Chains A and B, each alone.
Chain A
Amino acid sequence: MNRAPLLFLGAFFAVAFSWTGIILSNQIAYGKLTPVIDQSDNKAYPLPISGQAQQGKLVYQDLGCMYCHTQQVRRPGYGADDLRGWGDRQSVARDYIREQRVLLGTMRTGPDLRNIGARQTSTEWHYLHLYDPQLTSAGSNMPPFAFLFEKRKIVGEPSPKALRLPPAYAPEAGWEIVPTERAESLVTYLLSLKDTYTYPDEARRVYVAPAANPEGKK
């Protein structure tokens, strides 16, 4: 193998082949998927998320939440995602088309969050959990995100947003712990995470019915 041009040509075609196969062909096949307009409520699914939730997604990205939390539900029968209550159906490509950045994740040190907004609807729970995960999930190895909260002196009335902490965590009298704007955006984002809509097309072609466990755990 003493001819450099041959080497370069071979190296070029090898990668060109996979680029065409993996990326280009899929870009052509489903790179232009569009939202589905539901005739009954005249909304386009997946629904767009609010500006504040978008801000929250940036917080999610900058703190690196995706290194422990996936955002993809595997089909019923493959793994136990449905049985753990992480989603009623599997995630499909259309769920992600509005996302500027797709955060599928590859690690489940913590649970999947694709439907956390449907599963854990309490804002207060999320604040406490972020402030110190031990408050809501004793034994968790999620780090505390207390730096997303502000300790401040109560001036006049206490803030309605102030965390209701158990005595061991509560600040001294006259002080309160309130979420910063970043914490508020992050929780708004988390609450926006829910793929509850059933796309008619995917329901016919892709969805796998939950088989073994009809009356079981959601």
Chain B
Amino acid sequence: MASGTNLSESLNPATSSEAVKRAELSEIDASTKIPALFFLCSALGWILIGTIFALIASFKMHTPGFLGDAEWLTFGRVRTAHLNAVIYGWASNASFLVIIWLMARLSRSLLRHPILLLTAGVFWNVGVTIGIYGILTGDSTSIEWLEIPPYATPLLFVAYALMGVWAVIMFRFGKSPHIYVSQWYILAALFWFPWIYSVAQIMTIWAPARGTVQALVNWWFAHNVLGLWFTPIGLASVYYFLPKVLGKPIHSYYLSVLGFWSLAIFYNWAGVHHLVGGPVPAWVQTAGIAASIMMLIPVVVTGINHHMTMIGSFNALRYSPTLRFIVFGAVNYTLVSVIGSFMSLRGWAEITHFTQHTIAHAHHGLYAFFTMVMFGAIYYILPRLLLKEWPSAALISVHFWATAVGSLIMVLVLTVGGFHQGLLLNTPKLANTLGLQPGTDPVPFLEVVRVMNKYLVSRSLSGILIFVGHLAFAVNVVWMLLKPRSAEVTAPTLFRNPPEMEVVTR
């Protein structure tokens, strides 16, 4: 068993105090190695595939003839393949990695029978692969976020159940007397996802509800995938890595409790805001809007908690890659959620509802928040699994700046573009309001399409930038996996060495 010497060199003062504790952690980390590496490699593969699908879809939006003869790559399919590759491929695999690694550490429990967990992971990825193949060959269900054809979903469900059981077993038989806030989120997410997924599958595909009740089920699910699956995992990671890297406890226990329960209560009602103005009862739309506004409570509370933890340590952002990604993600969690609350309002949705504004919001949440947090987590976890350090700080730097700048450009361009699009689509109404000649339509539909072109081209450019970031990340990961373990003790890879580290690194 590898000793904890490598960890002792870690930036983290909290663990470097007691050698015994370190040895135990090291042993726990080692027990998760095989499945964790599998999830990491799968996640990495999917994010590359997903980004390529995204780029194809994005090019098609401004150059519709691009690959126009390939039926399997037509926009409606490749866009859907992109969504499913990044949600069920990248984001879910990254979540599994973080879940088992954090759960083992926080519960102080060895991962038993890693090969069985690995099998579950293989099943999951086979399910996603079959699903995406099905989408590209024309078997998509055309239900947003549930497009994977019904012949692949049972596989996903069983694989998920196995992984959930593993995490719960680790939790149940762990030695830790406490349940840390990250564990609340993880346990709740593991419980929530199979529930919403199975209900949604049954009520939309196996025994579909009549009429627009289906749409309610659809958006109850699709919003909760974010709210009850990815958001909890993202927040669990922030709650763990932020204090870990900084070497100090989280600001307030009580704010954590309040943040958790208010999220649990309000988030799952919010999904109906995707149907504002649609053919579903007005009261349930209003309930969805109210819940979306109430989401300000958990978001602000969590934001304050993280910020207060961070205060006084912003200097550390100059050194630690993990911290930089995590903080970028956490800040964007606050931003995207606050914007999201207001987007649900009827007056706002009237303009932005069916536009690129929504796409901006989705990428803001899933990319600028969730994905960046996952990158941060991986930068912390992988050295502890492989007992070697990241080969290139420069590549980490490229990764960070390309993805951070790329995602912010994309969000900004589409937020503004979507607002513009919505205003143009509503021009006949504006013309009426302004008292122009009745029936005037100053901006016919094709004119809206023409105006949107520049935003869509900019989005493609930001996508290329993000892809460059992903390539840098992939090269670094593969390089790290292949490079031999250095014989002597190594220091963690940082953007630059902080003054107090100079002593340690000789």
Contacts and interface: CB of A to CB of B under 8 A. Distances in A.
**Same assembly:** yes
B277 A79 contact: yes
B396 to A, nearest CB: 35
A104 B218 CA distance: 11
A31 B213 contact: yes
A111 B280 CA distance: 21
Interface string A2-22: 111001101110110111011
A108 B195 contact: no
A96 B212 contact: yes
Which of B75, B271, B453 neighbours the largest number of chain A CB atoms within 10 Å of its CB?
A: B75
A83 B449 CA distance: 18
B210 A67 contact: no
Given A22-B220, A106-B358, A215-B438, A84 B188 contact: no
A30 B281 contact: yes
Given A61-B141, A213-B439, A96 B196 contact: no
A35 B358 CA distance: 34
Main secondary structure of the interface of A (DSSP, over half): loop
Interface string B323-360: 00000000000000000000000100010011100110
Interface in A121-163: 133, 137-147
B68 A146 contact: yes
Given A19-B220, A61-B142, A108-B354, A96 B211 contact: yes
B274 interface: yes
Contact of B211 (A102, A111, A142): A102
Contact of B195 (A15, A72, A100, A144): A15
B441 interface: yes
B279 interface: yes
Contacts of A7: 179, 184, 187-188
A173 B118 CA distance: 60
A217 interface: yes
Contacts of A96: 211-212, 279
A186 to B, nearest CB: 12
A11 B35 CA distance: 27
B9 interface: no
A70 B430 CA distance: 22
Interface in B17-71: 60-62, 64-65, 68-71
A29 B281 contact: yes
Interface stretch (A36-44, A47-55, A85-93, A164-172): A85-93
B284 A26 contact: yes
Contacts of B284: 21-22, 26
Contacts of A64: 74-77, 79-80, 140, 142
B179 A213 contact: no
A193 interface: no
Nearest to B287: A21
A139 B449 contact: yes
B214 interface: yes
A203 interface: no
A108 B449 CA distance: 10
Contacts of A10: 261, 264
B363 interface: no
Contacts of B260: 1
Nearest to B347: A78
A66 interface: yes
Contacts of B441: 83-84, 217
B279 A104 contact: yes
B449 A141 contact: yes
Interface stretch (B90-98, B313-321, B421-429, B481-489): B421-429
Which of B188, B288, B452 neighbours the largest number of chain A CB atoms within 10 Å of its CB?
A: B188
Which of A18, A61, A74 neighbours the largest number of chain B CB atoms within 10 Å of its CB?
A: A18
Contacts of B350: 78-79
B222 to A, nearest CB: 9
27 contacts: A2-B178, A4-B187, A11-B187, A11-B264, A15-B196, A15-B268, A18-B220, A22-B287, A23-B213, A29-B281, A31-B213, A64-B75, A64-B140, A67-B80, A72-B277, A72-B279, A80-B427, A97-B211, A101-B142, A102-B212, A103-B142, A106-B358, A141-B62, A143-B64, A144-B64, A145-B74, A217-B428
Given A1-B184, A106-B274, A217-B438, 20 more contacts: A3-B179, A8-B187, A11-B187, A17-B265, A18-B268, A22-B216, A23-B217, A26-B216, A26-B280, A26-B281, A32-B210, A64-B79, A66-B76, A83-B439, A96-B212, A102-B212, A102-B215, A104-B275, A107-B358, A217-B441
Interface of A: 1-4, 7-8, 10-12, 14-15, 17-19, 21-23, 26-27, 29-33, 60-68, 70, 72, 74-75, 77-80, 83-84, 90-97, 99-109, 111, 133, 137-147, 212-217
